[in-house]
Amino acid sequence: MFIYVNGEIVKKEEAAISPFDHGFLYGMGLFETFRVYDGHPFLLDHHITRLNEGLKVLNIEKQFTREEVNNSLRVLLDANGLENAYIRLNVSAGIGEVGLQVEPYREPNVLIFAKPLPKAGEMAEKRAVILQLKRNTPEGLTRLKSHHYMNNLLAKREIGRSTDVEGIFLTAEDYIAEGIVSNIFWKKGNTVYTPSLATGILNGITRQFTMKAVKTLGLHMEEGLFSIEDVAAAEEIFVTNSIQEIVPIVEFEGHAMPGKSGELVQKLHQHYRESCNTLWSI
């Protein structure tokens, strides 16, 4: 398998960065994960926009364009013989002295990883459980998709190796926040609900796509502060992320849910299938 490192395609065993990279020393780095469908990087524009905004916050002097990223992806995918893939675009701050740096980072390290994925197909159902571990607050004003991932890793250890379970974080105030690697939605009546960004969650790209799709389907979309009881009373629950797409929930804290037989998730899944091979933007 090959990866992209600062403009070069190298074998993964030969890839290396300096131990003085502040992405390693202090977690000063960002990443985006997304899928490529038959050669098309779905919603790439929005992933780049979020990445560029985060780089400004971290004082890393690098901005990406669609053309630059897409060209790099094409070379990497060709090297690995892939048309359907999981992509991680990673930007770390680059080399600095040991100690906290105030000056801008001007030579970041850019790495792109690709893993093979099968063609998109049926929805995979999961059970949702409330985590004992609370969601940590963002390091800054808003949550970035950054190298600061210990909260997520500890939460994954809490639920174990099961691939059919998603852990759901609560805030310190016991409001529903988000999944370990997902955003959460639920439907009741003609309204679809999802936690507000005020809870400190990541504004997922698939979250944004889903909110627009819900409105396109003629349903109301409401963000807010919600309790476990609010979610348990739902007619349908699902979680979203850019790799697993729309994931129906079959059980929430012991409450049975319709899973992939739910009318809303079926419509959203169909909308996703019709969009994933062509859309650059939401």
Tens digits of per-residue pLDDT, 39-49?
Answer: 999 999 999 99
The tokens describing 224, both together, are: 């807010």
| Intra-chain end-to-end CA distance of the chain, in Å | 31
Q: In the chain, what are the domains?
A: 2-116 (3.30.470.10), 126-275 (3.20.10.10)
Please report the pLDDT score of residue 121 as a whole number. 86
Cβ-contact 206, 241 below 8 angstroms? yes
Each residue of 82-119: pLDDT tens digit?
Answer: 999 999 999 999 999 999 999 999 999 999 999 999 99
* DSSP collapsed to 3 states, 96-109: CCCCCCCCCECCCE
Backbone angles phi, psi at 114, to 5 degrees: -130, 135
CA distance 107 to 109: 7
User: Model confidence over 173-225: pLDDT tens digits?
Assistant: 999 999 999 999 999 999 999 999 999 999 999 999 999 999 999 999 999 99
pTM of the model: 0.96
Average pLDDT of the segment spanning 49-65: 98
pLDDT digits (tens, 9 = 90+) for 152-168: 999 999 999 999 999 99
Cα separation, 115 vs 76, in Å, equals: 11
Q: Which residue has the higher pLDDT, 121 or 30?
A: 30
Q: What is the pLDDT of residue 265?
A: 98
CB-based burial, 155-168: b 16+ in 10 Å, e otherwise: bbeebeeeeeebbb
pLDDT tens across 226-271, in order?
A: 999 999 999 999 999 999 999 999 999 999 999 999 999 999 999 9
Question: Which residues in the chain belong to E strands, given as ranges?
Answer: 2-5, 8-11, 29-37, 40-41, 85-92, 109-116, 126-130, 165-170, 176-179, 183-188, 191-195, 220-224, 236-241, 245-252, 255-256
The reported pLDDT for the residue numbered 122 is 87
Residue 55's identity, in one-letter code, is L
Task: Judge contact between 244 and 182, C-beta under 8 A.
Answer: yes
Per-residue pLDDT tens digits for 5-31: 999 999 999 999 999 999 999 999 999
Confidence of residue 33 (pLDDT cuts 50, 70, 90): very high
Per-residue model confidence (pLDDT) at position 118: 93
Structure tokens at 281: 């933007």
Average confidence (pLDDT) over 143-147? 97
